[in-house]
Amino acid sequence: MDFRRLGRSGLNTSEIAYGNWLTHGGQVEEDAAFACVRAALDAGITTFDTADVYAGTRAEAVLGRALEGQRRSSYELFTKVYWPTGPGHNDRGLSRKHIIESCHASLERLKTDYVDLYQAHRYDTTVPLEETMTAFADLVRAGKALYIGVSEWNAEQIAAGAALARELDIQLISNQPQYSMLWRVIESEVVPTSEKEGLSQIVWSPLAQGVLTGKYHPGQQPPADSRAGHAEAGNSMRRFLRDDILTRVQDLRPIAGDLGLSMAQLAIAWVLQNQNVAAAIIGATRPEQVQDNVEAAGVRLDADVLQRIDEVLGDAVECDPAKTARG
């Protein structure tokens, strides 16, 4: 496993991070989740990402149990706050009340005294940014979070958050956006701003939620046991399941084959070519998926390979920076 610095900080992350959105507490049973976490640890993954809202808080609890007994300094634990996890009218957004209460609840579920990175899961337009960043700063000073990050913030929001973080003498070191061969909306604005402000990207869905593995074929129904065939999980990936996109993805097979890579390894290696990307988050329902995915760490793709990929995917690629913030 290779490691990269996260933003302008001293924190190292594994190039491949393990995330449990849509899997732990929902799509897979707990014993399967534990097996995947063990496979991740065995493969050298040290960075684990979750969120309080995943599976209605169950994902955090499962991850906490899966990591129990591991030496705390041997891994990096990231979680997020923003979305509602309960019926209370204050149980949402980035108010001071919600941030502080959510952090304490997450720590209890994760069975730890602190998280390495606490992330704003979205930008909250209803709360003054000063209130949000001050609450984060207080958690850092209390030792509940070591660093602060954001997720799916646009370039303007990142710049404003970074400026406030400097005033408060804390480190805003990361953004967690969707990023893949097919979804490149961060490249024109978010990445340059992040580089200037000292943030790295921790990217989710480098496989376009499984589409870039090549398991889905044009003109065919998704396998019943796949993510696309899952009633809840499949809804989040409909944009990628068009026949024109699936046809182009199948055309990537010769490129992967020439390099001796699986389709998944090619897709993960592709996002890691961006030097502003500190880690690519993978999810898994089986240990074998983890073992395959980690082989992408350390792979370097030549310029001619990147050009071939661009030529194959063509206008199937989404680059509009207006789609950075996903609501």
* Total number of domains in the chain: 1
Angle between helices 155-167 and 190-197 (to 10 degrees): 10
Could you tell me if residue 261 is inside a domain? no
Q: How confident is the model at residue 231 (pLDDT cuts 50, 70, 90)?
A: very low
Residue 257 domain flag: no
| 12 assigned to some structural domain | yes
Residue of 18, 54, 118, 216 with catalytic role? 54
Predicted local confidence at residue 227, as pLDDT: 58
Per-residue model confidence as pLDDT tens digits over 268-297: 999 999 999 999 999 988 999 999 999 999
- Checking if the pLDDT of 38 tops 60, the result is yes
Q: Determine the structural domain holding residue 179 and report its residue range.
A: 3-207+272-301+317-323
**What is the pTM assigned to this prediction?**
0.93
| Span 136-159, average pLDDT | 98
Domain assignment present for 143:
yes
Query: And the tokens for 239?
Result: 């944009």
Neighbouring CB atoms inside 10 A of 143's CB total 9
pLDDT at res. 220? 74
Whether pLDDT at 257 is above 60? yes
In a domain, 102, yes or no: yes
Measured CA to CA, the distance from residue 100 to residue 139 in angstroms comes to: 7
Does 216 reside within a domain? no
Per-residue confidence band for 137, with pLDDT thresholds at 50, 70 and 90: very high
On whether residue 47 sits in a domain, the answer given is yes
67-123 residue pLDDT tens? 999 999 999 999 999 999 988 899 999 999 999 999 999 999 999 999 999 999 999
Q: Identify whether 54 is part of a domain.
A: yes
Closest to 239 in 3D by CA, of 323, 297, 166, 305: 323
Three-state SS at 265: helix
Q: The CATH number of the domain where 189 resides is what?
A: 3.20.20.100
Instruction: Let me know if 179 is a catalytic residue.
Output: no
Where does the chain have alpha helices with state H?
Answer: 30-42, 58-67, 96-110, 129-141, 155-167, 190-197, 243-250, 253-259, 263-272, 287-293, 303-313
* CA neighbor of 81 nearest in space, from 33, 115, 46: 115
Whole-number average pLDDT of the chain: 93
